[in-house]
Structures are given as C-alpha cells and as structure tokens.
Structure 1
C-alpha cells in the first residue's frame, strides 16, 4: 500500500491540494493518518479521489456524492437516500421490547431453521421463551435491508461466522504478544507487583488492538466501496451520453 503526503497525492491524482482539502472538509474524502506532524494518505484515498472526480464530471453535486458515499458505507440503498425518511427502523422498538418471534424472523429475513441456528451461534439472537432476545437491533435491521435487496441471509451469516473466526485468530495474535513474552515458567519467581504489571500490559492490548483493527478495516472498506462504486460509474459511463447524469444533465 502506497503512502502519500498531500502534495504527492495531488500529483498522482491530478486533483489540486486545495480541492483535496475541500473534499475532505465536505466529508467526501477520509482524513489522513497522522504520524508525528504529517498527514499520510493511502491508496484508498487515491481511489476515492478518482471516484469523486468522475462523479463530479458526470454532474453530481457535492451533496449527492456525499449521500451516495455515506449510503454505500452504511449498506443503504438508493431508495433510502431518495426517500430521506427519518422514521424509526422497524427493529428500533426492540431496544425496549428486546424480543422477536420466529414468525417475525421468517417474515423479515426469510429465516430457515439453519438461519436461526446461525444467528444464535454468532450471538445476534438469544433464545428467550418462545421467542428470541435481540442483542443488536441495528444489525438485525441492516440484515433485513440486505435481504430485501436480494442478498441470501445464509450467505451473509456464513460470512459473519467466518469473520468471527478470523477475528478470534487476530485477538489471539495480539494477546500472545504479551503471553509469549511473559507468561511462562518465570512467573513462578515473580512477586505480586510483577504479576500485576503483566496483567496490566495484557489489558492495554485491548485498546491498541481495537484501534489497529478498526482503522485498518475502515481503510480496506473504503477501498472496496470506492472500487465497487467505481465499477457502477464505469457501467453508467458506457450507457449514457457524455456529460449526462443518470437522468440527464443536472440543473442548477
């Protein structure tokens, strides 16, 4: 992955430093990674710049581009953007009720017995009498949006299980930084203060690992979203006249 200072990014992208700052201020470009006093940009920033430039050339406004990028980042559809609805999601009430029935699962997600078993395995739902306790309403609502868009819920949950397994390996790799260094037979000769120090080091792994995983995944996700949206724009460019948006030239 290439690293760029803002002047380097401007040179390789063909976008001026001023415009890069404008895109960043408007939320169209993720902020750089700050190391010392220098902001470093990466390949996902270059991809996003190219995408934004192409969308601007097609007549999209800053506001429209921002809405589409935010929608893609949060798994929303164009319908959600156009509707602009602020109504509460159908699962938001479960913050209070905290339960959902099997019938509701089958209706909203097309859930099979295997689907329900997977949701229990990953901890999204927990058996509660005749129904299930909803551990994360937002995730359940997001899954429903994808299912309505044509995504197979079992495929989605299988990916979730795979990511869960991968992240367990990641968690082990971070904690083992400490355990492999300190947790061995030498512990037998340590006093309580030394053991407490090692325990504190293990606890400190959590925020560090979380930040590394979160920032790395965010960069990777931005890169993949930009690539996917870029493919959509490429298809649109071959199907519509030059300079026209999907519904013709945009009016002032």
Structure 2
C-alpha cells in the first residue's frame, strides 16, 4: 500500500495542502498515521479525497458530504439518512469540540487505562496532546448506556477486537477470490492492463462482500436476539409455575371445600326458599 506525505498526497489528488487540512478539521478526512514527527497518508486517504472532490463538483455542501460519508461508513442507506432525526447526545457535542479528557472518560464510562488503550487501538479515540479526539461519538454514547446498565466497558472492547480480527480473515478470503486467480508465476507478465483489470475486479468484490457480511450478520444477530428473548421467557414461565398456592391443613387449596364432607345448612335453605 502506497504512503504519502501531505505534499505528495496533494500532488496525487490535485487537492491543495490547505484544503486537505480543512477537510481534516471538518472531519471529512481521517487524520494521518503519525510516526515520529511525520504524518503519513495512505491510498484510502487518496480515494477519500477524490470522492470529496467529485461530491463538491456536484454541488454538495460540507455538511451533506460529512453526513453521507458517515452513513456510508456505517452501511446505512440513503432513506435511513433522510428519515433519521438529528440527535444532540453528549458525545456528539464533544465531536464539535473534537476532544475529551481522561477525567471525562473515567467519569462517564468507568474507563481504565486498558480500556483507553483498547479504544486507541480500535481507532475510537486518538491521542491529541493531553486530550483524546473522538472518532465515533455514536459508539461512545451506546457504550455509556451499556456501562450505566452494569456492562463492563472492557468486555465490549474485547468483543470488538475479536470481531476485528475475525473480519480481517473474512476480508482476506473475499479479496483472495481475485488474488488466488491472478497471484501466480504469471503475475509479472500481466502488464498495466491486466493489473488494472484485477484492481477493478477487487473493487467489484468489495460491495458484494459488504452486503454478504451485513446480511449474514443481521440474520445471525436477529436469531440470537430471538433465542435470548425465548430463554428469558422460559425462565419467567418457570418462576411463575414455581409460585405455590396457599394450602390449608388437609392438603386443600385455601378457600376450597371438601366435596366428601360438604354440609348444607337446612334451616337456612328452608328460609330462603320458603319451604
């Protein structure tokens, strides 16, 4: 994967260094990877810059571009974006400020040094001096709800790490559909046209793989949720069946007479009937 310094990225994309920094400040472009004192950009940054440029040429505003890029990142459809109502959660307010303190993380999320380190590893938080830049405020808001319900934040983050590792294998298997066909002893002889075709095929696989993973995961998640609710209902029914009815001496439920020993007040009966 190619890497670029900011000047090289500007030359490759046709976007000025100043505008690249503006896009970063507006959250349209992810920050570079910092190594030492240098920031390094990847091909993904180049692709994102080209997309932003095309959207600006079509008349989209920065706000619209930001919303559409965010929706695409989370696999949302256009209708989901249009019908969604703006939310004003606490962490979305932090997004405007771009950073959050360690004290706030520990206060709202019971964050530990390990959970903060995991959040950095997953790209949820990025160190920014003595603060942390929030990369996904919606996830932090969801995490806060879980923490308030008694769920351990580290448990959630550990699951995320595991999913990330599993999905890396899934992604490799989908890309392998193409590379297994082309990456052999004939690869050096493909030429520019062959390499371009191979790259186009990989890009064709990408949305297909995304849809397959999303659809499969949604189905599996729905099944597990239904199963969990069913198990909860079973426990509830069992607890209800275990509730005992008060029993009088003799083994009869309270208030129930014994038909073998039932007696009738004849005097009362004759009074009521007149006979």
TM bucket, shorter chain: 0.5 to 0.7
Q: 1:200 aligns to what?
A: 200
1:188 paired residue number:
188
**What is the CA-CA distance between 1:191 and the residue it aligns to?**
2.9
Give the corresponding residue for 2:138.
138
Higher relative contact order (CA 8 A, sep 6+): 1
Name the structure 1 match of 2:223. Answer: 223
5 Å matches for 1:1-252?
88-240=88-240
Matched residue SS, 2:90: coil
What 5-or-longer segments of structure 1 have no aligned partner?
A: 1-85, 242-252
Secondary structure at 2:221 match in 1: helix
Aligned to 1:228, what secondary structure does the other structure show?
helix
SS in 2 for 1:233: helix
Count of aligned pairs between the two proteins: 156
2:151 is paired with a residue whose SS is: coil
Give the TM-score normalised by structure 2: 0.54
CA distance in 2, matches of 1:96, 1:151: 27
Q: Which has the larger radius of gyration?
A: 2
Q: Deviations over 1:146-192 (max 9, x none)?
A: 11111111111111111111111111111111111112221222232
How far apart are 1:90 and its partner, in Å? Answer: 1.8
TM-score by length of 1: 0.59
- 2:150 and 2:129 map into 1 onto residues whose CA distance is 31
Deviations 1:129-149 (A, max 9, x none): 111111100111111111111
Given the superposition, is the C-alpha separation of residues 184 and 87 from structure 1 closer, same or farther in structure 2, using an over 3 Å criterion? closer
What are the Cα deviations for residues 228-250 of structure 1, in whole angstroms up to 9, with x where unaligned? Answer: 11122223334458xxxxxxxxx
CA root-mean-square deviation: 1.7
Name the CA distance, whole Å, in 1 between partners of 2:127 and 2:137: 15
* Cα separation, 2, equivalents of 1:94 and 1:215: 32
CA–CA distance in 2 between the matches of 1:190 and 1:157?
43
TM superposition shift of 1:88: 2.9
Counterpart position of 2:28 = none
